Amino acid sequence: MKRMLTLLVFVAAFSHAVPANDMSREIDAAAAKLMPKVIEWRRHIHQNPELGNREFKTAKYAEDHLRRLGIEVRTGVAKTGVVGILKGSQPGPVIGLRADMDALPVTERNDLPYRSRATGEYNGQTVGVMHACGHDTHVAMLMGAAEVLAGMRDKIKGTVVFIFQPAEEGPPAGEEGGAELMVKEGVMDNPKIDAIFGIHINSQTPVGTIKYKPGSIMAASDWFEIKVRGKQTHGAYPWSGIDPIAVATQIYTGLQMIVARQSNLPKAPVVITVGRISGGVRENIIPEDLVMAGTIRTLDSMMQNDVHERIRRTATSIAESMGATVEVKIDRKAPVTYNTPELVEMMLPSLHKAAGRENVVLGEWVTGAEDFSFFHAKTPGFYFTVGGMPAGKDPKDAAPHHTPDFIIDDSRLDVGVKAFANIVFDFKK
């Protein structure tokens, strides 16, 4: 009921048509002039990636840029986050623009002259570090938008808050981080943000294209761990023990039956993935216990709660039937990323100005997740995708995100810069 009342108030406040502004040509010209810098920034960040909560150099890069533009800067937000505050010449709404900064523990595999050769420590292991999800482009686009808007500050009605966020991919084990920590530390409240916007590059969407979707757009991300406890015995005499590995295989199948036979998939997708199974120390010893862990993706909150209950019941029942016991732990990582429909309708003209009406297309929801959802929990939000796949390439041949072969065509990052800048002038409270 509270959410419904909030949406009704939002509709009443923003239902009027958005008048066309006369700033888009000026924005186009400024973005075109800035593009060589935006590409340079992106490639510098790509070549110098940093893991979550360790984005010290990236944060300083963004901070120095904002300071050169005469923008008020706050640092150390949620550990390494940077927030810039640009006040326009007249009163008006407060608009949040967000970019995430962190890279992934992935070793880059290509021959780009600016490819990453960086390494870092992730959960006690030395790993390659790569911007395998395109966050380098997000930072560069937001830096570009900041420069365009700083040059037009005398025409801005209201305030723009530039949010450079750490640890979107998740903080290191045992640490807080990301959007959730930024919200906890008050980034949405001082000044109070009226609406927030975010962009994600996509390696399988044609360059120069924008995709959007009202309502649920990205899944809730939950992590689960199931500890199976059996009875250790000699591998030659399995009947004298309880094999947790055999139990785990049955639980694995049971989890997939939740998706295939128990979930109302026409309503919304459900994914249950086991990404890790560990147990045992020797080939001829059936171990005492085993741990299986993975992720749950849902796009509907009622289905999310239902799936959690089914996982607990399935794991417990299967274990009991085989004489074993289980402990099930489910950790809610990020809520569903949801685009306020009324805000999407209001801001579509901004996207048309940035990419051309013919290049702005309605997309589908995806089972990837985003902690942008924590910002949206505080205010209406709109999160959309900018294409980074080279023109003419088949999406099936484009390497997906989070892989060593992930690659982005950065020739049209101006689309994101222009989208952010037009949003600032088109948004009306």
- Check which CATH number belongs to the domain holding 137 and give it: 3.40.630.10
Q: Same domain, yes or no, for 286 and 141?
A: no
Establish if 225 belongs to a structural domain. no
pLDDT for 41: 98
Establish if 329 belongs to a structural domain. no
Any idea what the CATH number is for the domain that residue 281 is in? 3.30.70.360
Establish if 223 belongs to a structural domain. no
Q: Same domain, yes or no, for 206 and 347?
A: yes
Given 267, 289, 323, the domain boundary residue is 323
Catalytic residue, candidates 63, 100, 102, 243: 102
From the CB of residue 370, how many other CB atoms can be counted at a distance below 10 Å? Answer: 23
Q: Same domain, yes or no, for 62 and 193?
A: yes
Q: Same domain, yes or no, for 201 and 237?
A: no
Establish if 192 belongs to a structural domain. yes
Establish if 226 belongs to a structural domain. no
Exposure letters 217-244 (e unless 16+ CB within 10 A, then b): bbbbbbebebbbbbeebeeeeeeebbbb
**Token code pair at residue 3:** 């959410």
Active-site residue flag, 102: yes
Q: Which domain holds residue 119?
A: 2-218+336-426
Establish if 301 belongs to a structural domain. yes
Establish if 224 belongs to a structural domain. no
Does the predicted TM-score (pTM) go above 0.85? Answer: yes
Residue 333 amino acid letter: K
Given 299, 323, 347, the domain boundary residue is 323
Please tell me the total count of domains within the chain. Answer: 2
Q: Same domain, yes or no, for 187 and 296?
A: no
Q: Same domain, yes or no, for 122 and 20?
A: yes
Q: Same domain, yes or no, for 318 and 242?
A: yes
Separation CA 321–CA 303 (nearest Å): 26
Q: Same domain, yes or no, for 206 and 108?
A: yes
| Residue pLDDT tens, the chain, 429 long | 444 444 444 544 444 444 445 799 999 999 999 999 999 999 999 999 999 999 999 999 999 999 999 999 999 999 999 999 999 999 999 999 999 999 999 999 999 999 999 999 998 999 999 999 999 999 999 999 999 999 999 999 999 999 999 999 999 989 999 999 999 999 999 999 999 999 999 999 999 999 999 999 999 999 999 999 999 999 999 999 999 999 999 999 999 999 999 999 999 999 999 999 999 999 999 999 999 999 999 999 999 999 999 999 999 999 999 999 999 999 999 999 999 999 999 999 999 999 999 999 999 999 999 999 999 999 999 999 999 999 899 999 999 999 999 999 999 999 999 999 999 999 998
Question: H/E element holding 178?
Answer: helix 178-184
Separation CA 274–CA 256 (nearest Å): 10
pLDDT for 362: 98
Q: Is-contact 404 252, C-beta < 8 A?
A: no
Q: Which residues contact 386 (CB under 8 A, 6 or more apart)?
A: 137, 141, 199, 200, 201, 202, 205, 209, 210, 412, 413, 415, 416, 419
**Token code pair at residue 342:** 């009324």
Q: Same domain, yes or no, for 139 and 197?
A: yes
Q: Is-contact 158 95, C-beta < 8 A?
A: yes
Given 268, 292, 323, the domain boundary residue is 323
Q: Same domain, yes or no, for 250 and 186?
A: no
Q: Same domain, yes or no, for 389 and 240?
A: no
User: Where do we find the tokens 């001829």?
Assistant: 284
What ranges make up the beta strands (E) of 230-364?
233-234, 270-278, 285-286, 289-298, 325-334, 337-339, 360-362
CA-wise closest residue to 376 among 10, 1, 68: 10
Catalytic residue, candidates 28, 168, 185, 342: 168
Q: Same domain, yes or no, for 182 and 127?
A: yes
Separation CA 256–CA 273 (nearest Å): 8
Give the single-character DSSP code of 261: I
> Backbone dihedral region of 186: left (phi > 0), alpha (psi from -120 to 50 degrees) or beta?
left
pLDDT for 123: 86
Establish if 418 belongs to a structural domain. yes
Active-site residue flag, 288: no
